[in-house]
Amino acid sequence: MPWTSSGTPEAVIRQVRELEDVEVLKSYLLLVWSGWEALPDDRGFAEMCALVREDFSGTGMGRHQEDLIEHLDYVLGQLDQRLEYLQ
């Protein structure tokens, strides 16, 4: 995953969270979950899970949750197609 000079994947995720902008958070996740890049290391992955659990729960988050789920479904479909091609 292309990380900036800002530090570790975990630090980058924290910086994005500190912006406290759900649209930026969602855009970040959509980019990270492109399906073409590796997921961050264990600590970065744990921070990403916390982001989703904490920042996308509650009232008014339904549309954002739907967008993320739709994107992940798409990425999983693309990964399945790549796996079938490789086999």
Which residues neighbour 25 within 8 Å (Cβ) at sequence distance 6 or greater?
16, 17, 19, 51, 55, 56
Q: CA dihedral defined by 55, 38, 27, 57, rounded to 10 degrees? A: -20
pTM over 0.75: no
Tokens representing 83 are 């796996």
The reply to whether 42 falls in a domain is: yes
Tell me the per-residue pLDDT of 21-49, one tens digit each, with 9 for 90 and over. 999 999 988 888 876 666 667 788 888 88
What is the extent of the structural domain holding 15?
A: 9-86
The reply to whether 53 falls in a domain is: yes
pLDDT band at residue 1, thresholds of 50, 70 and 90? very low
pLDDT score for 3: 47
The reply to whether 66 falls in a domain is: yes
> How many folded domains does the chain comprise?
1
Over residues 60-70, the mean pLDDT reads 94
Spatial contact of 14 and 47, defined as CB atoms under 8 Å apart: yes
Query: Is the confidence at residue 77, as pLDDT, over 50?
Result: yes
Q: C-alpha distances in angstroms, 40 versus 53, 61, 63, 87?
A: 17, 24, 25, 26
Residues of the chain above pLDDT 70, percent: 83
Helix/strand/coil for 61: coil
